[in-house]
């Protein structure tokens, strides 16, 4: 994780703005961002980070890894981060035209890391290739959907699904096939 470019200009001007750092997972032209922030003075309680400073446009789903909730940030919007316990961490994932965004294995800090998510294809329907570690027999893949989606296992088995109409977060439990992988489709309605 590295400071975003705006931090270098802020530091050069001795502004002492809150530190904002970012990393990403890329799958073709789809990029999920992992954004962390913390205050650098006692008076700082939050920071608003324009999507443009994160080299993003919208809409993006901003998932709060601590509270397991999120919000859609519109095009040209800002990510608002509050410093509970001295820091904040969000996972940002692009929302496609059908209203879907993939969070991946949201129990992990890097939820769409290449060791877990081998591939993501977005053609309106999200197709996700999931890698399982030796000894793992079930994983839950999460994401955002503006409406309850359908799910289909192309490889492996789909065990259980859930959708919370309040948070608009879906969860799909999958098991691998003999190769140690599963392929899940998230289909908009």
DSSP run (H or E) holding 167 = none
Q: Where are the domains of the chain?
A: 2-94, 100-187
CATH assignment of 2-94, given 3.60.15.10, 1.10.530.10, 2.60.40.1180, 2.60.40.3080? 2.60.40.1180
Beta bridge partners of 12: none
Single pTM value for the model: 0.92
Top CATH class, 100-187: mainly beta
Assign 11 a pLDDT band (cuts: 50, 70, 90).
confident
1, 23 Cβ separation under 8 angstroms: yes
Per-residue exposure over 38-50, b if at least 16 CB sit within 10 Å of its own CB, e if not: bbeeeeeeebebe
Summarize pLDDT for 131-179 with one digit per residue, the tens: 999 999 999 999 999 999 999 999 999 999 999 999 999 999 999 999 9
Domain pair 2-94 / 100-187, same fold: yes
d(CA 52, CA 76): 7
65 or 163, which is more confident: 163
Q: Report residue 53 CA to chain centroid gap.
A: 17
């Amino acid at each position: 994780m590295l400071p975003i470019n705006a931090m270098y200009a802020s530091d050069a001007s001795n502004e002492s703005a809150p530190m904002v750092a970012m990393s990403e997972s890329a799958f073709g032209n789809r990029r999920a961002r992992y954004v962390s922030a913390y205050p650098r003075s006692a008076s700082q309680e939050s920071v608003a980070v324009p999507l443009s400073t994160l080299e993003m446009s919208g809409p993006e789903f901003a998932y709060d890894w601590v509270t397991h909730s999120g919000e859609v940030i519109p095009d040209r919007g800002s990510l608002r981060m509050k410093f509970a316990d001295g820091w904040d961490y969000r996972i940002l994932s692009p929302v496609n035209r059908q209203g879907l965004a993939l969070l991946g294995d949201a129990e992990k800090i890097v939820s769409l890391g290449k060791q877990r998510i081998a591939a993501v294809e977005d053609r309106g329907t999200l197709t996700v290739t999931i890698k399982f570690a030796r000894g793992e027999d079930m994983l839950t893949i999460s994401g955002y959907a503006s409406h309850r989606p359908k799910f289909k296992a192309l490889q492996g088995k789909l065990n259980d699904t859930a959708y919370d109409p309040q948070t608009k977060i879906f969860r799909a439990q999958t098991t691998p096939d003999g190769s140690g992988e599963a392929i899940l489709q998230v289909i908009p309605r």
